[in-house]
Copies of this chain bind each other. A is one copy, B any other.
């Protein structure tokens, strides 16, 4: 709905993409609010930019409440995949290999970080490292998700586990 019809794919021009993001983000939030008011339903919405910026909307007090409600919706059953955009990834890579390469990657990054002039690290190198780290993270996540599928009681002791890790860090 504009001067021109646009394709449904990532807008490549970064500047244009950002302008469109600003406009459509506010449009989406407006629609979410209208739906919640007109139809008397609870709506929760979160948007993460790739820079890690967060935008959110919720119809009630706090999104955390809606999230709780969402999570409790799945308690006691095996986690089913969300119907949208089902992921078909390749899980062929062995866990062993995956972890070794991830470890090496971490070492490389660590050595960079430990350098006193890390801040002067070439920005291009950082981009590359970020991308590799992200890719590794994705693979590990997908493996974890698989593990979760097999052990559906994982959510029960979540709080305890988080507390434990917190104390370690």
- B-binding residues in A (CB < 8 A): 6, 8-11, 17-18, 20-21, 24-25, 27-29, 31-32, 34-35, 37-67, 69-71, 73, 79-82, 84-89, 95, 99, 102-110, 113-114, 118-119, 122-130, 132-135, 137-142, 144-145, 147-148, 151, 154, 157-158, 161-162, 164-166, 168-169
A106–B113 touching, CB < 8 Å: yes
By beta carbon, the residue of chain B nearest A126 is B144
Question: Given A85-B56, A104-B169: A35 and B51 within 8 A (CB)?
Answer: no
8 contacts between A and B (CB under 8 A): A20-B38, A21-B38, A25-B39, A46-B67, A53-B87, A56-B70, A63-B70, A128-B166
By beta carbon, the residue of chain B nearest A24 is B35
Minimal beta-carbon separation of A126 from chain B (angstroms): 5
Question: Given A82-B62, A147-B123, A154-B124: A8 and B38 within 8 A (CB)?
Answer: yes
CB-CB under 8 A from A62, the residues of chain B are: 80-82, 145
Number of copies: 2
CB-CB under 8 A from A60, the residues of chain B are: 85
A148–B128 touching, CB < 8 Å: no
Question: Given A39-B21, A137-B134: A45 and B32 within 8 A (CB)?
Answer: yes
B65–A67 touching, CB < 8 Å: no
Partner of A89, one of B20, B53, B86, B130: B53
CB-CB under 8 A from A35, the residues of chain B are: 21, 24-25, 28, 47
The 7 tightest CB contacts between A and B, nearest first, are: A52-B138, A124-B161, A21-B39, A42-B48, A51-B142, A103-B113, A128-B165
